[in-house]
Structure 1
């Protein structure tokens, strides 16, 4: 209490010295105590509000007016036919593998929907026909029954240059079906030898290019054909978290889109993921994807859920190199069917958007009448993509320190030096004073012992001399 009273008398905190002044009336000291307590309460309330702002509103996203680049990456284009199975191939497969002709038609209807990844359909195939064995490799089987690339895509024109579509589109199994993708690193590498994989290199467009588009001519025209068109960032895989920008149904000949890209300045790395509400591509390492994106994170979350529940993953997910993710066979697929709701439930994944991401929105498309059909469509930029958004810090650590220091100084006179004073008074100074008090006690005891010391000496003449030690160390001789 004495140490506390000494601290209150000597500290620079507003009003503290009046509380410790014993010469003041008790009611006056109590009044100053209430004032100081109220000031500290207000300070804590404001500091907590500033801390909450630092945790939830530390960044702001605004238009980047300094953006000036000549090279912009063309988005990835993924085409997913709603029914990619090939009826002729399925007929041949059934005739080759089935002897019971009465059940051919029923099995055919089931196999047509095989590539839609309908788990119940696969289970019905096994139950009704016995056509598939428990150890059947479902991905290999799917490739045997799917329409090849040349049966869907014929000619492509990219930036006014004509290509064979199958030379620039790669096949890929996704959560939404079997697709063909352009300008994306996510494609199947374990495909039959009849397919030719293309080396991936991001395709850019420049301001000087005569065309900023991809024009696709289909190999066949079918009014019943429907194709989901995904326009997405080349770093983002296609999954159930992405919605197609357009479902083509033979009546649209052009899809015109505009990109909205957002990036985050490097200084935002000093904040936590929760504060900036986004994840940098290299901040979290995924086992199933080269870079972190929201879709890749959610996809891996579902893969982990399937692995935990069934010890395998559905065949449309990619297997990784260390064989942790292993594809399910038909027997193991029953477990996936039973737990499908738990697998696709997004709760508990905790995935956030990437700090750099691009969203493509369809601005308009040219549509023909219901009685007309077109043999292809065109995907193009609405205008030169020269607009993007920037996420930057508006309330960082330095801002928090200055704001809290200003509030504490205004209401209580508190500063960093005041904190050092408090620590000093109740740690170093207490130790030093205790050590000094101990030294003084030893000195007093030594003096007391010397005071009690006396020497008696007998002289030759029979008299006695008494020598007394007097403070401070004086000597008195007494006969």
Structure 2
């Protein structure tokens, strides 16, 4: 009995180890053959309203007709006053962010504005066109250097080299991101450090922007730090890289075992996974729970989008954006970028007058000398060996041979049961046949 209890104790201990923590993170220094991954970029223009587009849109949804939309206004207000009221309405919605929803109570008295306006459609329609130019270390990248208009927790922005940002698309692209297995449409831009100076450059004409650098397998949130680039500024940023890679065998484990997700794994209602997507999806669910709608900057989340009245409801529950209870796991593979150097030049003439109306942003990555690797240190095969060792320790027998004996006995027992069942069935059939032969007329 003591041997059996000892064997069961060690077997249970090894099984718990396999279930709880069979992975480890190691440091890899064989950097000579590594391929660099260019970061993703999310940038937001400060000028977000084209007033010609704004009035055309308001007229199209029949909000500019003075007689049709006087609800909530004093009788002595003029048409000009109402246009200023609508302009304030547009500016307020364009400026809405996850952390600052603005003065929405001012528009609740007009039911057309409070519940009848599609916020995402409005802010994307009134957004002006901006002239930009993009280039990189490889001219043939061409079509891969495309920016996509997205909606973020900071409003309408643009994404470059960030495949998952398509889930934040304003034109219904969130349902069409999957292109077979892997990432939507394309993979992030890569660079061979031994052959190229790994950089990208973005020029913006007559515009000021805020930007953030992040992993190409991530999306930006309002929690991240954005850097301002004013008109006539030339900004050069150099980043060091810390990459985390993972052994493919980790996919054989459950998420509970490895405590991380791969990017191409589905998560709840999402086709792909990232930590920030998980956080935003969690915030959307909290908003849905308290106000029965999700904010418009979560187009990938479930639930009806919030109207102005819905956003005002969220203002009354400021803890909706608290992510303390979200319990999101880190990705199994990741790329982190850290500022190594940052220089800014402002091209102005005497008196501070800019002589170039172009903001320029150039970012470059340095070759890393170390990276992290997630590895499997206790596989299912190791578990079998450990259990076999426990059996050998306490019984003095080879666990493999014992398993074969158990397998043999199980097969023999199954065969014996099957034969008994067939014989019994055959006897019942013969008994029924005999009864039919002697049955009275």
TM surpasses 0.5: yes
In 1, Cα distance between the equivalents of 2:217 and 2:263? 10
The DSSP-based 3-state class of the residue aligned with 2:105 is helix
Contact 2:101 2:311 in 1 (8 A): no
Establish whether residue 204 from structure 1 lines up as the match of residue 190 from structure 2: yes
- 1:396-475 matches, within 5 Å, as 396-411=379-394, 413=396, 416=399
Contact 2:31 2:368 in 1 (8 A): no
In 1, Cα distance between the equivalents of 2:333 and 2:375? 12
In 2, Cα distance between the equivalents of 1:398 and 1:66? 28
Q: Which residue in 2 is equivalent to 1:172?
A: 150
Contact 1:77 1:230 in 2 (8 A): yes
Contact 1:110 1:121 in 2 (8 A): no
* Structure with the larger RCO, 1 or 2 (CA within 8 Å, 6+ apart): 2
Q: Which among 270, 287, 295 is matched to residue 276 of structure 2?
A: 295
Establish whether residue 184 from structure 1 lines up as the match of residue 165 from structure 2: no
Q: Which residue in 1 is equivalent to 2:242?
A: 260
In 2, Cα distance between the equivalents of 1:125 and 1:396? 61
Contact 2:19 2:257 in 1 (8 A): yes
Contact 1:84 1:178 in 2 (8 A): no
In 2, Cα distance between the equivalents of 1:413 and 1:84? 79
Unaligned runs of 5+ in 1: 1-35, 193-198, 433-479
Q: Deviations over 1:111-158 (max 9, x none)?
A: 4342332574362241367782521111122134434333xxx43332
The DSSP-based 3-state class of the residue aligned with 1:303 is helix
Q: How far 1:52 sits from its partner (Å)?
A: 4.0
Q: Which residue in 2 is equivalent to 1:140?
A: 121
The DSSP-based 3-state class of the residue aligned with 1:149 is coil
Q: Deviations over 1:30-68 (max 9, x none)?
A: xxxxxx64x666665555544443333311222345666
- 1:254-333 matches, within 5 Å, as 254-285=236-267, 287-288=269-270, 290-307=271-288, 309-318=290-299, 325-333=303-311
Q: Which among 241, 247, 260 is matched to residue 227 of structure 2?
A: 247
Q: Which residue in 2 is equivalent to 1:62?
A: 26
Q: How far 1:78 sits from its partner (Å)?
A: 0.8
- 1:29-44 matches, within 5 Å, as 37=2
The DSSP-based 3-state class of the residue aligned with 2:123 is helix
The DSSP-based 3-state class of the residue aligned with 1:315 is coil
The DSSP-based 3-state class of the residue aligned with 1:132 is helix
Change (3 A) 1:281 1:345: closer
- What number of residue pairs does the alignment pair up? 371
In 1, Cα distance between the equivalents of 2:81 and 2:360? 42
Change (3 A) 1:120 1:294: closer
In 1, Cα distance between the equivalents of 2:250 and 2:288? 35
Establish whether residue 390 from structure 1 lines up as the match of residue 373 from structure 2: yes
Q: Which residue in 2 is equivalent to 1:218?
A: 204
Unaligned runs of 5+ in 2: 67-77, 173-183, 417-441
Q: Which residue in 2 is equivalent to 1:114?
A: 93
Structure showing greater radius of gyration is 1
Larger displacement relative to structure 2 (337-346 or 230-239): 337-346
Establish whether residue 352 from structure 1 lines up as the match of residue 329 from structure 2: yes
